[in-house]
Amino acid sequence: MSRYFCHDHPDVLALETTVVDARPGAVVLEQSPFHPGGGGQLADRGVVAWAGGEARVTGFETVDGRTWHLLGEPVEPSGVVRVAVDPEFRATQTELHTGAHVLNALVYQQFNGALLTGAQLGDDGTGRCDFDLPDVDNDRLRALEAALNDVIRQDLPVRYAWIPRDEAESQAGLLRSRSVAPPPSADGLIRIVEIVGLDRQACGGTHLTSTGRSRAIRILKIDNKGRHNRRVRYGLVALA
Ligand SMILES: [Zn+2]
pLDDT digits (tens, 9 = 90+) for 181-195: 566 677 889 999 999
| Residue range 47-95, pLDDT digits in tens | 999 998 999 999 999 998 899 999 999 999 999 999 999 999 999 999 9
Q: Supply the pLDDT for residue 175.
A: 86
Kindly give the distance from the C-alpha atom of residue 193 to the centroid of ligand 1, in angstroms, as a whole number.
7
Q: Sorting pLDDT into bands at 50, 70 and 90, what band is 240?
A: very low
Kindly give the distance from the C-alpha atom of residue 15 to the centroid of ligand 1, in angstroms, as a whole number.
24
Kindly give the distance from the C-alpha atom of residue 208 to the centroid of ligand 1, in angstroms, as a whole number.
10
Kindly give the distance from the C-alpha atom of residue 49 to the centroid of ligand 1, in angstroms, as a whole number.
30
Kindly give the distance from the C-alpha atom of residue 203 to the centroid of ligand 1, in angstroms, as a whole number.
5
Mean pLDDT over the full length of the chain: 93
Kindly give the distance from the C-alpha atom of residue 238 to the centroid of ligand 1, in angstroms, as a whole number.
22
| Residue range 193-221, pLDDT digits in tens | 999 999 999 999 999 999 999 999 999 99
- For every residue of 67-96, DSSP letters joined together read EEEEESSS----SEEEEEE-HHHHHHHHHH
Q: Supply the pLDDT for residue 65.
A: 85
| Residue range 11-24, pLDDT digits in tens | 999 999 999 999 99
Helix, strand, coil share of the chain (percent; to 5) = 20, 40, 40
What pTM does this model have?
Answer: 0.93
Backbone torsions φ then ψ of 202, nearest 5 degrees = -75, 130
Q: In terms of pLDDT, which residue wins out, 198 or 228? A: 198
Query: With pLDDT > 90 as the criterion, what percentage of the chain qualifies?
Result: 82
Residue 127 has pLDDT above 60, yes or no: yes
Kindly give the distance from the C-alpha atom of residue 161 to the centroid of ligand 1, in angstroms, as a whole number.
13
Report the DSSP pairing between strands 158-164 and 189-195. Answer: antiparallel
